[in-house]
Amino acid sequence: MTMHKKSFTLVELLVAVGILMILLLLVIPNLWRARVNSNESVAVSNLKSLNSSLQMYYLDNDSFPDNLTDLIFPASDPSYVNPELTDGTEAGYNFSYTQDSQDSFHITASPRRVGTTGKRYFYLDDSGDIHYNSESQASSSDPILK
């Protein structure tokens, strides 16, 4: 009587590794696309939050602030916005606030690494409309995000 050990052959192992590689190649692009979409959604949400905070600040002070740090304590008591939104970066996007006059402002949101953290650029002004551009920095002449 001979005893046979049961084990995988080299061909079976190569087939299993090949199947795993194919599955990974199918899954990774979807994960990357989901991350980019998530970052863009967070950027739009942050712009909406900043717009609301800036409008409340304007109602209380009859002008828009010189910079976003004026929206948080101790410059404002209570704070108008979460302090994390005033540091200029969030979820793969860089935010830049400019006070154009006491009655107007604009904010641009740019991906930190185009194609990796986001694909679109965003622009918000005191009208509350968010504009987007897929190729370069967005402006008020670009399409409005719906």
Q: Where are the domains of the chain?
A: 11-133
| Overall pTM surpassing 0.75 (yes/no) | yes
Determine whether 86 is exposed, middle or buried from the number of CB atoms within 10 Å of its CB (0-12, 13-18, 19+): buried
Residue labelled with tokens 């509350």? 128
Query: Above 90 in pLDDT, residue 76?
Result: no
Tell me the pLDDT tens digit for each residue of 95-123: 999 999 999 999 999 999 998 999 999 99
Query: Above 80 in pLDDT, residue 5?
Result: no
